[in-house]
Structure 1
Amino acid sequence: MAFALHDRNGQYSKNVATVIASIFENTKEQVRIHLLHDNTLVHERRLLFKTLCNDYSQEIFFYKIANKENFQSQRFSAAAFFRLYLPDVLPQYIHKIIYLDADICVNLDIIDLWNANLGDKSLGVVRNWIECSDELKICKSIGIAEEFYFNSGVLVMDIDKIRKNHNLVKETCLFLEKYPFAELPDQDALNYIFNQEIFLLEGKYNTLVKDDEYEIMENRIYHFAGAKKPWNTYCGIYTNLYCKYFAKTPWFNGEFLSELYSQFDKKTKWLENFYQRTNRCKIILFGAGYLGEKLVHKLNLSSDTAYFVDNNKKKWDNKIANISIFSPEVMLKEKGDYKIVIALIIYYDEIKNWLIENGYKENIDFFDGRKINGMEINWW
C-alpha cells in the first residue's frame, strides 16, 4: 500500500493514519505501508506512524521525496504528484502496489482489491464521473473519451509494466508543459499517460461521496474527493465512519470529538456573518479557476451580480460560467457596494495580504471562498 504526504499543519498525517487504520481493521492479511513524504513529516509524527503499524503487527517504510521538478498545483499540495515517483523509489522486488489518497476510508477487505486481475493493463482504476465543465474540456482536448476518464485516488499499479514502458516524472512534466492550466494536473496527466492501459474496476473500490448523500454503510472504499471532508464538516454516517477509524490511531485523544463539533459551530457563525454582510452586494471573485466556478453555482451568481478578477493576464476578457474576468485594477476602481471572495486554494494568504495593504478588512470586506465551499480550513 502506498500513500503520499505533505503535512504542513499536521492534519494530513492524521488523515493518512486513518486510512491505514481502516485497512488494518478490515483485513487479516499482511500489509506493507510505503509512505512517500517531504520534509514536513516531523520525527514525532513519523514515530506515531510506526506505533500504528506496530499495534497491528504490520510494517511501514518511509521515502523522502525531494520534488526536484517542483511539481505544484493551485488546488493541491505537492504530495499529489508524489505517486509519480513510485516506480523509481520502490525496491525492485516490489512488482505491484495499491496507491490511495488521504481522504479515503476503506470499509472492506483490501485483499479483494489486491486480487483484481488487470490482464495486460498497467493500472486498475475506477471511472470518474465528470461534473466540471473545465474537466470535460480537458478530457476532450487530450483525446480521452469521457467514459474512460478515471479518478486517480485509488490506483492498482503494475509497477513492472510501468517501469518498462514509462518515465512518469518526465511524461508528467511534458504534459504540464502542453496543458499548463489543467485543473487537476496530477489526475489529468495520469489519464493522458495511461489512456490505453487501464482496467476499469467496480465502482465500490472508489465510491465518490457526494454532498448531502447519506446512505446505508456498505463494504466499499469511500472517497471524500469533494470540498466537504468528514473531519471538517458534519457528514452524518461518513463523519461517524471517519471517527470510528481515527479512534484506532495514536493521534486520537479524548478532546477530538468536542474539538470537531466546536469547529462546526464556528463554521455556522462564520457563514451567518458572510451572508449578512454580502446581502444585496455585488460579489467580486478573486481567482478565475475551479473554486471560482464552484462558487458561482453555490452562491447562484450571475453576470449582473458578480465578476471575476485574476492576476493571470491570459484570463482577462474571458468568461467562466458566463461571468466575465477582469484585471484586479478594475476592482480597485469599483464604485458600488461590493464584497470580495477569494476563490483561490493555495494562494489565499498572498491575496489576503495584498487586499489588506489596499485597505480591505478580512471578514468584513473580503472572505475566504474555501470556507464558503466547505473546504478543510482552520476556522479560528
Structure 2
Amino acid sequence: MSTSIQLACASDRNYMPHCAAMLHSALSHGAGHGFRIHYLHGSDVPARSRELVAGMIERQGGTISFIEIPDERIDGLPITQHFSRAMWYRIHLPELLPNVERVLYLDADLIALDSLEPLWETDLKGNYVAAVTNVFGPWDVDYPAKLGLPSPESYFNTGVLLMDLDEMRADTCTAALRECALEHGEAFWFPDQDAMNVVLAGRRLPLHPRWNSMSALFTFSASVGIFGSDATDEARRRPAIRHFEGGGANKPWHYLCDQEMREVYFEHRRETPWPNVRLEGLTPANVLRRLTRRTRHRLPRSVGDRSS
C-alpha cells in the first residue's frame, strides 16, 4: 500500500471553490501523512484555477495532478438538472490511475474534521469499495428495492469511497458501470450512485457512519435503526467527515442552509483561493422567509406563556 494517501476528487468549474475547501480540510488533518491528489475535471476548468489549487495543495505539503476527462468519454451517459457530467468521472478511476492500487474518493460537498489515515488503512477484505450505508427518508425507503437490492441497508452513499482499484480493474468494473448507466440510467434517481450500487452490490464493506456523517443522519430517525444508537450518536457528535449531501438549502453555501456544522465549511473556504462566498439563494423572498422563521421561533407561543 502507498505510504501517501491517494485522494481523488472531481468537479466542474462551478464546484471548484467547494472542492478546494474540501481538499484544504483533508490536508489540514494530514499531519504525518503525505497526500497525492488526483483532481478529475472537464474542459471548463480554467488553467489559472488549477494553478491556484495546486499552490494551495503544495503549501499544505501535498502533491496534485489534474486529469482532464474528454467530453466523449461521458457522451451518452445520463445527465440531469441536478447532477453534472462530473458525477461520472469517478467511475473511470480504475482506468485513469492504472498504477494506483487503491484510492480514497471524496465528494466536493464535504469537509474532513479528523485524520483520514484510519480510513485509508482500512482492510477492504476483497471488496471493491468501503462506504457508509445511505440514510433514506420515510418516503423513499423502498427505493433500493426498485433497484433489485435486498434491503435499504444494502444501498450505500458514494460521497466517500475507499476503492480497491486493483480488484475493480480485474473485474472490468468501469465497463460494467458504463453499461449499467447506458441501459438503466434514465430511470435512476441518482444516476452514478445507483449504478455503483447495482454493479458493486455484494462487494461493499460497510463503514462506521462517522466516515460519512451525511445530513440525513441528523434528520431521520432511520439512522438509529441502521447503525445503532451508539454509532449514530458518535457520528453526530464527532464526525470524521461531514457530508452536506442533497440540493438547495442543504448546501452550506446556500443562504437558507441551517445544517449542523455549517460553519466548518466557511472556516476552510476562507483558506482557499476563493475566500469570499457569494451565497446562493440570497433573494428578497428568501430574506423574508428567513426573517419570518427567526421571528416565529422567538415569539411566545401564547399569551399564557408570558411571565406575569
- TM-score, normalised with respect to structure 2: 0.77
- Give the CA RMSD over aligned residues: 2.5
Larger helix proportion, structure 1 or 2? 2
Partner of 1:208: 214
The one of 18, 21, 43 equivalent to 2:21 is 18
Is the CA contact 2:211–2:240 (under 8 Å) kept in the aligned structure 1?
yes
Identical-pair percentage: 26
The one of 109, 118, 123 equivalent to 1:112 is 118
CA distance in 2, matches of 1:144, 1:208: 22
The one of 173, 183, 194 equivalent to 1:167 is 173
Tell me if 1:231 matches 2:253.
Answer: yes
CA distance in 2, matches of 1:144, 1:67: 35
Partner of 1:30: 34
CA distance in 2, matches of 1:167, 1:188: 14
Is the CA contact 1:144–1:192 (under 8 Å) kept in the aligned structure 2?
no
Tell me if 1:145 matches 2:145.
Answer: no
Partner of 2:55: 51
| Residue type of the alignment partner of 1:250 | P
Note the alpha carbon deviations across 1:329-376, whole angstroms, 9 max, x for none.
Answer: xxxxxxxxxxxxxxxxxxxxxxxxxxxxxxxxxxxxxxxxxxxxxxxx
Is the CA contact 2:176–2:199 (under 8 Å) kept in the aligned structure 1?
no
CA distance in 1, matches of 2:65, 2:185: 34
CA distance in 1, matches of 2:34, 2:109: 23
CA distance in 2, matches of 1:64, 1:125: 26
Note the alpha carbon deviations across 1:241-275, whole angstroms, 9 max, x for none.
Answer: 1111111212215xx4xx44x96464524759xxx
| Residue type of the alignment partner of 2:96 | V
| Gaps in structure 1 of 5+ consecutive residues | 273-380
CA distance in 1, matches of 2:25, 2:190: 26
Tell me if 1:97 matches 2:97.
Answer: no
CA distance in 2, matches of 1:30, 1:193: 32
CA distance in 1, matches of 2:49, 2:98: 24
Partner of 1:77: 84
Note the alpha carbon deviations across 1:92-120, whole angstroms, 9 max, x for none.
Answer: 1x101000111000101011210111112
The one of 221, 233, 248 equivalent to 2:241 is 221
CA distance in 2, matches of 1:85, 1:62: 14
Is the CA contact 1:135–1:183 (under 8 Å) kept in the aligned structure 2?
no
Local SS of the residue matching 2:193:
helix
| Residue type of the alignment partner of 2:20 | A
CA distance in 1, matches of 2:207, 2:163: 12
CA distance in 2, matches of 1:211, 1:137: 17
CA distance in 2, matches of 1:112, 1:121: 17
Note the alpha carbon deviations across 1:226-246, whole angstroms, 9 max, x for none.
Answer: 222111134365221111111
Pairs within 5 Å for 1:1-380:
1-7=7-13, 10=14, 12-28=15-31, 29-68=33-72, 69-70=74-75, 71-74=77-80, 75-92=82-99, 94-131=100-137, 133=139, 136-178=142-184, 180-210=186-216, 218-227=238-247, 228-233=250-255, 234-235=257-258, 238-253=261-276, 256=277, 259-260=278-279, 264=282, 266=284, 268-269=286-287
CA distance in 2, matches of 1:21, 1:125: 22
Q: Which moved more, 1:200-209 or 1:72-81?
A: 72-81
CA distance in 2, matches of 1:239, 1:180: 33
CA distance in 2, matches of 1:117, 1:36: 26
- How many residues in Structure 1 have an aligned counterpart in Structure 2? 262
| Gaps in structure 2 of 5+ consecutive residues | 1-6, 220-232, 291-308
CA distance in 1, matches of 2:150, 2:67: 32
Pair 62,55 (structure 1): closer, same or farther in 2 beyond 3 Å: same
CA distance in 2, matches of 1:147, 1:199: 12
Question: Offset of 1:180 from its aligned partner?
Answer: 2.6
| Residue type of the alignment partner of 2:24 | A
CA distance in 1, matches of 2:173, 2:259: 42
Pair 177,91 (structure 1): closer, same or farther in 2 beyond 3 Å: closer
Is the CA contact 1:140–1:146 (under 8 Å) kept in the aligned structure 2?
no
Higher relative contact order (CA 8 A, sep 6+): 2
